[in-house]
Amino acid sequence: MICDSEEVAAKLTLQGVTKTYRAARGSVDALREVSLQITEGQFVCLVGPSGCGKTTLLNIVAGLDEPTGGNVLVDGCPIAGPGRDRMVMFQEPALFPWLNVLDNVLFGLRLKPNLGRRERREVAEFYLQLVGLQKFARADVHELSGGMKQRVALARALAPNPRVLLMDEPFAALDALTREQLYGDIQRIWKERRKTILFVTHNIREAACLGDRVLLFSAHPGQIREEFLIELPRPRDINSVHLAEHSARITRALKRHLTTETEAAA
Amino acid sequence: MTRHRWLVFSYFAALVALWEALARLGLWSPLVFPSPMAVGAYLVHALADGTLADATRVTCRRLFSGYILGLMFGAPAGLLTARFKIVQDTLGVIALGLQTLPSVCWVPLALLWFGQTETAMLFVVVMGTTWSVLIAVDAGVRNVPPIFARAARTMGSRGLHTWLKVILPAALPHVVAGMKQGWAFAWRSLMAAEIYVTILTGFGLGHLLHYGRELQAMDQVVGVMLVIILIGLLVDKLLFSPWERYLRRRWGLAL
């Protein structure tokens, strides 16, 4: 088994991942027995209402959070904490304000062994170009707009060439117009760089626009309820009618699950 | 000169003119209310015979050695209290308590422990500085958004690397604010110590102020006060302004 074949998109496997929080009144299952297989280079969206545990799941895959039970495997090898093979893009850009744009992208590269100074720079500049911000390499973070910041965060996550990209509602705080541009960008970049992507969102249309598969998640306990295959040609336009059909289907399913959930609780 | 500078200049000129006018009215005795001319004459005289330069040198030596010692104790201790719960619950609590103690309250203890010596002086300044720096650094580190460290961890940063490359730079605005506050405390405690403690190893500005009072020399009292203000302003401009400009430019902060 090859565990650190770098540069190639990886297969991501979740086996019975469970996360239990101890609360004042008993324990809460944030995740119960979540199993999932994502093949190399697949774009998978995890969609569900807020508080359903989807971010917890992403954090566990990132290695930032420990599961109570179960395993996360990258190409068959269990993960141990955060790793360069899985990079994360958060809802906030989380860029470092004491570094300029280029140095932010270089941060992860500097931690990657076997890279020369010139090589690192070339890589960083390549990814800044990929997100269309090569002219802003020397800019300070606070000079950028929200959309530009997320672009830098994307370049920073891509630069160390991870095998899996984990995205936690990265576009949620952006305005609709900027978001549309970024849908185009992320599809183009995914096609060029072929990453395995796990994308968490509460926006169903966004999930249908981006994902090969959309997994519907709901809480109490946090589990995958239904899966949808989106077989539409790419690049997809968020406003297309075909997309609307898919997102309507997913929305109906979500509503159904929410009602049964409320009935069960009552 | 620009219009702005003219305005600033005229403001200060008007202030001095008003002062001179009030003094000339003769409402108060010159012993109580010296004219700017008299204060100026004292400053020229004290500069010429070297007393002012000597006193400034003595004071600044004490100030900077005490301040630097305070930073050396306070800053690392603040990092420790922020990092380890046990240090926070022990040293942190002591720091919080001692920080509320006005530094002049250390003077009697310092006198009894060290006598009328430079050590007593230094002790008061260090006590005045350390705790406020400790608390500011601690608060600075605690205020670093956790997302920074999390993002760094996903990129492979661990332990010491995270502290040096992420937590410390992220806490920099607070640390600079803490250093500035520490400086203000050091300056205040030194003046208190110099006015209270008479020692023979060097007359500082505080002593000049004290003797001005003993001699009823109001021109000296006001003159030395002006010098003390000037030093405070200079340190602010030379030591802290460059840092604040940097933070404003990089962080886009309004400080």
Q: How far apart are CA A30 and CA A52, in angstroms?
A: 7
Q: Is A84 on the interface with B (CB under 8 A)?
A: yes
A116-124: list long-range contacts, CB under 8 Å, 24+ apart: A123/A159, A124/A155, A124/A159
How many angstroms separate the CA of residue B150 from the nearest CA in chain A?
7
Residue A205 resides in a domain: yes
Least-confidence region, from A114-118, A258-262, B116-120: A258-262
pLDDT tens profile A124-176: 999 999 888 999 999 999 999 988 999 999 999 999 989 999 999 999 888 88
CATH assignment at residue A17: 3.40.50.300
- 3-class state of residue A163 by DSSP: coil
Q: Are the beta carbons of A51 and A40 closer than 8 angstroms? A: no
Residues B252 and A95: their CA atoms lie apart, in Å, by 14
Nearest CB neighbour to B251, from listed A87, A92, A142: A142
Confidence at A10, pLDDT banded by 50, 70, 90? confident
- Closest CA relative to residue A37, chosen from A244, A252, A198: A198
The pLDDT tens digits of the residues spanning B79-127 come to: 999 989 999 999 999 999 998 888 889 989 998 999 888 999 999 999 9
In Å, how far is A107's CA from the nearest CA of chain B? Answer: 8
d(CA A44, CA B55): 73
* ipTM for the predicted complex: 0.87
**Residues B249, A140: C-beta atoms closer than 8 Å:** yes
Distance CA A42, CA B79 (A): 44
Range of the domain at A224: 8-85+201-266
DSSP character at residue A100: B
The domain total for chain A is 1
Q: What's the sign of the alpha-carbon dihedral B32, B33, B38, B40?
A: positive
Tell me: the pLDDT tens digits for A45-81? 999 888 788 899 999 999 999 999 999 999 889 998 8
Range list of H helices, chain A: 54-62, 101-110, 117-130, 146-158, 176-193, 204-210, 241-265
Instruction: Please name every residue paired with A168 in a beta bridge, in sequence order, or none if there are none.
Output: A200
- Rounded Cα distance between B148 and A66, Å, is 19
For chain B, the distance separating the N- and C-terminal CA atoms, rounded to the nearest angstrom, is: 27
Of the listed ranges A110-114, B152-156, B233-237, B250-254, the least confidently predicted one is B250-254
Residue B95 makes CB contacts below 8 A (sequence gap 6+) with B77, B81, B130, B131, B134, B135, B138
Cβ separation B151–A88 shorter than 8 A: yes
- Is A111 a member of any domain? no
Q: How far is CA B63 from CA B53, B168, B232, B243, in A?
A: 15, 26, 11, 20
Distance from CA of B250 to the nearest CA of A (A): 6
Cα–Cα nearest to A223, from A11, A18, A39:
A18
Look at residue A26 and tell me if it is in a domain. yes
The confidence score (pLDDT) of residue A37 equals 92
Render pLDDT for B125-142 as a digit per residue (tens, 0 to 9).
999 999 999 999 999 999
- The arrangement of secondary structure in B37-251, i.e. its CATH architecture, is Orthogonal Bundle (1.10)
Establish if A140 touches chain B: CB-CB under 8 angstroms. Answer: yes
For residue A102, being part of any structural domain is answered with no
> Hey, where are the domains in chain B?
37-251
CB A110 within 8 A of CB A96: no
Contact between residue B243 and residue B177 where contact means Cβ atoms under 8 Å apart: no
Mean pLDDT (chain B) is 90
Within 8 A of B172 by CB-CB distance, chain A residues are 98
Interface contact flag, B156 A108, Cβ < 8 Å: yes
Start-to-end C-alpha separation, chain A: 49
Q: Say if A59 falls within a structural domain.
A: yes
